[in-house]
A and B are shown apart, each in its own frame.
Chain A
Amino acid sequence: GAGVSQSPSNKVTEKGKDVELRCDPISGHTALYWYRQSLGQGLEFLIYFQGNSAPDKSGLPSDRFSAERTGGSVSTLTIQRTQQEDSAVYLCASSLLRGNSPLHFGNGTRLTVT
């Protein structure tokens, strides 16, 4: 079946430009996570959507980062006025809202800010 889909797979942008990263979760999954992974590092939590509840934005590194999830499905992560330190792989994961439910990850969007 279809897994988590992220687009684009690669994005190169100039410093100062805005970018939008998209995540299509598995149908029916109410929980959606965004993570960031810099080269050779672990996963850094960014934001978490849980059903219709207010999202947990505690991991967003600055107010240049925002995310939304429309209709409980597709999510978009927006980075405004990109900086070189924003370069990383951005990963999206979805799951059912149960502790014994696995997270399903997409293959990520590799963002390079020049």
Chain B
Amino acid sequence: DAKTTQPNSMESNEEEPVHLPCNHSTISGTDYIHWYRQLPSQGPEYVIHGLTSNVNNRMASLAIAEDRKSSTLILHRATLRDAAVYYCILRTESGSARQLTFGSGTQLTVLP
């Protein structure tokens, strides 16, 4: 199974942009890159996904490297509510990836 690697933790100041990196060097051509975040005492929530092109939605932006071996989740203006664990995972085109391996994610701390 294709794996992802992320830094264990990152810090950001409130109202500043945050760039959360993810490496996925063994990604296959049919893998979608998904990002989720988990707030304390809650289940993970979907943030954004992409395949090849950069993506934007109301929550964040996703920048995907040209070779697709890495990606970056961008929070344009961090707020205290963005403090969470962020997970980057790969999901196959058929959706049948048996083990969606979440790993330990990146703990984002937002400083006031």
A residues sitting closer than 8 Å to B (CB atoms) are 4, 31, 33, 35, 41-43, 45, 48, 50, 56, 58-59, 91, 93, 95-108
Contact = CB atoms under 8 A, between A and B. Distances in A.
B64 to A, nearest CB: 14
Interface residues of B, number: 29
Interface stretch (B16-24, B36-44, B66-74): B36-44
A102 B36 CA distance: 9
A106 B43 contact: yes
Which 8 pairs, one residue from A and one from B, show the smallest C-beta to C-beta distance? A105-B43, A102-B46, A43-B102, A99-B93, A42-B104, A97-B95, A99-B32, A56-B98
A110 B55 CA distance: 35
B102 A48 contact: no
A37 B42 CA distance: 11
B46 A104 contact: yes
B100 A108 contact: no
DSSP class of B's interface residues: helix, strand, loop or mixed?
Answer: loop
B103 A103 contact: no
Contacts of B45: 105
Contacts of B105: 42
Contact of B36 (A4, A41, A103): A103
Identify which of A59, A97, A98 gathers the most chain B CB atoms within 10 Å of its CB. Answer: A98
A98 B104 contact: no
Interface in B75-112: 87, 91-105
A107 B43 CA distance: 4
B3 interface: no
A41 B100 CA distance: 16
B94 to A, nearest CB: 6
A14 B92 CA distance: 40
Nearest to A43: B102
A28 B17 CA distance: 37
